[in-house]
Structure 1
């Protein structure tokens, strides 16, 4: 025996504790999971930034001295086109996604969204006149529609089941972070000549980072496997590509289990019947109709309980409430945005522990109370302003615990894989359609009915949404996407 060979009776170092290995693997997994999440979530950040920046840009562009343009004297309809132009573009993007999503795949759809974000922001920032600016807003909006469609799908299809809710909810956190950033940059630039140009131009670097990141990330393994079982490529080649993508997405700690998990997904997809290609009529039959009812219902109620009105018209609402200086209005918007950010963070931390239904039921119950309190304040509690302040904060906080993150989470989970692209596009179309409608109708409805009646109507709608959640929406915590399809639909 050579001296450098280990002796059988030599003392061996003790093996590392099992929990050490688990902790080390968990840290590696979390690092890779965050990378998966970060670049798709930039699409949400840019959407949120647009909301915050537009709230300040409309104040800047209407200023005689600070707009830096000769066409500052815009009508209310023209200001409405600037404010909601990206929403109408998002509607177009949602319609496009219905037809091209399953062909392009989630990754390439996000690449297209990044390009449209960049081009749209550049056109808007450099616009020489009003029509060109509206075109830029529409192009940017098409990017929003594609990103809000593909990002939750990509994250849902690549994230581990145990933290899927947290990662998709983090996208909502990024949306709110973008709003706060938009309000913040807007407040800094609102007193600058042609400040609105810089507000919109500031989103271009983020669009470039998003595009580079999505170019680097692999395709969704589930999308590849869907194409494999539907005969849209060589089964063995697509399976091997899916194994490689899954290994890249989960990291070294995933080890040799990638082929085994790919085979499990293929088996489950065949079991639930995803080898059949989806048709348009199937969207309104059987389990897909149930998924569509759940998903579209949630995002509809998300919008028609008044939230878009506060977000898109925050500056003008705060000005009418006594904050006469534009900079004061935007700073208060930042404070509201920070509250939204904190409450969304709470939802992110607890969604995979408490589940989706408890957060929805609890948060929407708080919204009901706050909306009826706001209506009562405007009707007969006008001498108690603390009621309005507390009610507004309660409303914003409860929304971010419930409809804000959970709506996007549920629509990314609930649709069967072969119908997910088209089903999610319909849900996103409903979301942006309702958003545009409420945003457009808020001012005339307030003038016609008064704030008190309007808040009471929103409160009644919130009660209906509570009933809908209790009787229709299932719990999906901890289930794989294939298990959701088999057990909840």
Structure 2
């Protein structure tokens, strides 16, 4: 059993860019790499997060414009609560579908191909269909197709980044992916603030098309993941020698080295040996139910629980509906509400950067506990504002800032960091797929249900409900979420999951 764990550990380290440590016994050895070659394999997949964030930010302004007879530029602006909920959450249902589709095809397509396919969905559906939708039905189809691509990208991007970057900067880059989502939200807020008074507010959706095109070109130029190529070789899905050569060339390109250099070839050979050892006594591909057994089940309870509470504490409502909330707080003009949304987006960006800098110093649990406690307080303040503090609009603004700040030092980056750390190597791909599915599924439900629940319960009781759920999530973190700071992936699997 000990040998199996060591083999699994060697497999994970070699995939994550730490191959050289298994080749060089010097513990102080640091793999040399070109920053330019590292940045591009991170940047292009991370643009998928930027597009996802833009969806959130732009929708905050677009749902104001689409309901205005003066600004919408359409004849079907008089949307019901259910119709508006479908418009806002349509991309999330598409992402949910994409997450379901990616589970069985991820190993076949590879993470690079997933990102390219994401862009092929995004450009026509988001840039053209959604921006120029002639009626509600076409708009909903466009939102669904865009979300389909998002679901593929949100699975493929973190895997590609983790598999191709050097291990000593892996944690930073995985956390920075959240920063790109925030940048996308901020960009959506900016575009909304500038276009909110332009007739045809749906056009703000089309701004994402050039970004999607850039991502598609970038992903097409990047090499495939060396780990994916070697997995196909071990599983008998191609010539071992041919796939080894492709993997060596890909690793050389990713590290900024000459094609087929000796260091890359040695690393690829070592990775292949560890893969053969890990798969020697196992089926070439695990079953679906394996994710729900033993250590993988414990990991899914932790990781899946975090991304579930990330959504059902009201995060989609606060972000997607920041504009309407601010309008009710006294910023009655659409332009005023969207400009304050930009301020919130800038604050969100700042707090995300603080989390990226401090997560390895302070640890995961302290940031989660403090942040989730602040989220609960902010939701209770929003409820109090709607109940009896309506004469103080700054309370609403302060509550939104508190929510955003606490979310960005806790659930925002740390949930996905924990998901990338907590699953055993054997089930990591499927585990992340299920976590993405849980995230988008709960996000879609909360986003769709916001307006109907707001009409049924009233805003004050809805935010009170979210606050109560936040307290439950705080209890979940305190009782079940472990501290993984300073632990290797093998130590997490051996000490926490078993």
TM-score, normalised by the number of residues in structure 2: 0.85
Q: Rg larger in 1 or in 2?
A: 1
- Counterpart pick for 1:99 among 89, 104, 109: 104
Q: Match for residue 220 of structure 1?
A: 225
Q: Match for residue 202 of structure 1?
A: 207
Q: Match for residue 365 of structure 1?
A: 373
Residues of 2 paired with 1:224 and 1:420: CA distance? 17
Confirm or deny: 8 A CA contact 1:165 1:477 kept in the other structure: no
Q: Match for residue 52 of structure 1?
A: 57
Which ranges of structure 2 fall in alignment gaps of 5 or more residues? 1-27
Which ranges of structure 1 fall in alignment gaps of 5 or more residues? 1-21
Confirm or deny: 8 A CA contact 1:163 1:352 kept in the other structure: no
Deviation of residue 50 (structure 1)? Answer: 1.1
Deviation of residue 31 (structure 1)? Answer: 2.9
Confirm or deny: 8 A CA contact 1:162 1:352 kept in the other structure: no
Deviation of residue 215 (structure 1)? Answer: 0.6
Residues of 1 paired with 2:462 and 2:141: CA distance? 33
Residues of 2 paired with 1:129 and 1:168: CA distance? 39
Work out whether 1:411 is the aligned partner of 2:411. Answer: no
Deviation of residue 449 (structure 1)? Answer: 3.6
- Counterpart pick for 2:478 among 462, 470, 479: 470
Change (3 A) 1:333 1:262: same
- Counterpart pick for 1:317 among 325, 337, 344: 325
Work out whether 1:401 is the aligned partner of 2:416. Answer: no
Deviation of residue 324 (structure 1)? Answer: 1.1
Change (3 A) 1:271 1:306: farther
Confirm or deny: 8 A CA contact 1:36 1:217 kept in the other structure: yes
Aligned ranges 1:184-195 → 2 under 5 Å: 184-195=190-201
Work out whether 1:258 is the aligned partner of 2:264. Answer: yes
Change (3 A) 1:391 1:52: closer
> How many matched pairs?
465
Residues of 1 paired with 2:362 and 2:356: CA distance? 11
Q: Match for residue 89 of structure 1?
A: 94
Residues of 2 paired with 1:51 and 1:271: CA distance? 45
Deviation of residue 160 (structure 1)? Answer: 2.3
Deviation of residue 428 (structure 1)? Answer: 1.0
- Counterpart pick for 2:345 among 337, 356, 361: 337
Confirm or deny: 8 A CA contact 1:116 1:140 kept in the other structure: yes
Deviation of residue 40 (structure 1)? Answer: 0.3
Confirm or deny: 8 A CA contact 1:363 1:401 kept in the other structure: yes
Residues of 2 paired with 1:219 and 1:41: CA distance? 16
- Counterpart pick for 1:287 among 261, 282, 295: 295
Q: Relative to structure 2, which stretch is displaced further, 74-83 or 475-484?
A: 475-484
Work out whether 1:130 is the aligned partner of 2:164. Answer: no
Aligned ranges 1:355-394 → 2 under 5 Å: 355-378=363-386, 388-394=396-402
Change (3 A) 1:388 1:76: closer
Q: Match for residue 38 of structure 2?
A: 33
Deviation of residue 475 (structure 1)? Answer: 4.0
Deviation of residue 446 (structure 1)? Answer: 3.4
Deviation of residue 268 (structure 1)? Answer: 4.8
Deviations 1:95-152 (A, max 9, x none): 1111211110100011100111112112112322221121111111101111111111
Q: Match for residue 75 of structure 1?
A: 80
Residues of 2 paired with 1:365 and 1:29: CA distance? 41
Q: Match for residue 13 of structure 1?
A: none
Q: Match for residue 243 of structure 1?
A: 248
Deviation of residue 401 (structure 1)? Answer: 0.8
Alpha-carbon RMSD: 2.7
Confirm or deny: 8 A CA contact 2:378 2:400 kept in the other structure: yes
Deviations 1:346-383 (A, max 9, x none): 11222344443333233223223333444455556667
- Counterpart pick for 1:161 among 150, 160, 167: 167
Deviation of residue 231 (structure 1)? Answer: 2.6
**What secondary structure, in the 3-state scheme, does the structure 2 residue paired with 1:72 have?**
coil
Residues of 2 paired with 1:78 and 1:373: CA distance? 29
Q: Match for residue 140 of structure 1?
A: 146
TM-score, normalised by the number of residues in structure 1: 0.87
Deviations 1:201-247 (A, max 9, x none): 11111111000100111112222232233332233333332232222
Deviation of residue 171 (structure 1)? Answer: 1.3
Q: Relative to structure 2, which stretch is displaced further, 146-155 or 60-69?
A: 60-69
Residues of 2 paired with 1:240 and 1:486: CA distance? 34
Confirm or deny: 8 A CA contact 2:97 2:148 kept in the other structure: yes
Aligned ranges 1:172-187 → 2 under 5 Å: 172-187=178-193
Residues of 1 paired with 2:365 and 2:165: CA distance? 21
Residues of 2 paired with 1:236 and 1:351: CA distance? 41
Residues of 2 paired with 1:389 and 1:370: CA distance? 10
Residues of 1 paired with 2:460 and 2:79: CA distance? 30
Deviation of residue 440 (structure 1)? Answer: 2.0
Deviations 1:52-87 (A, max 9, x none): 112212222232233223333333322222111111
Residues of 2 paired with 1:374 and 1:65: CA distance? 30
Q: Match for residue 115 of structure 2?
A: 110
Deviation of residue 441 (structure 1)? Answer: 2.1
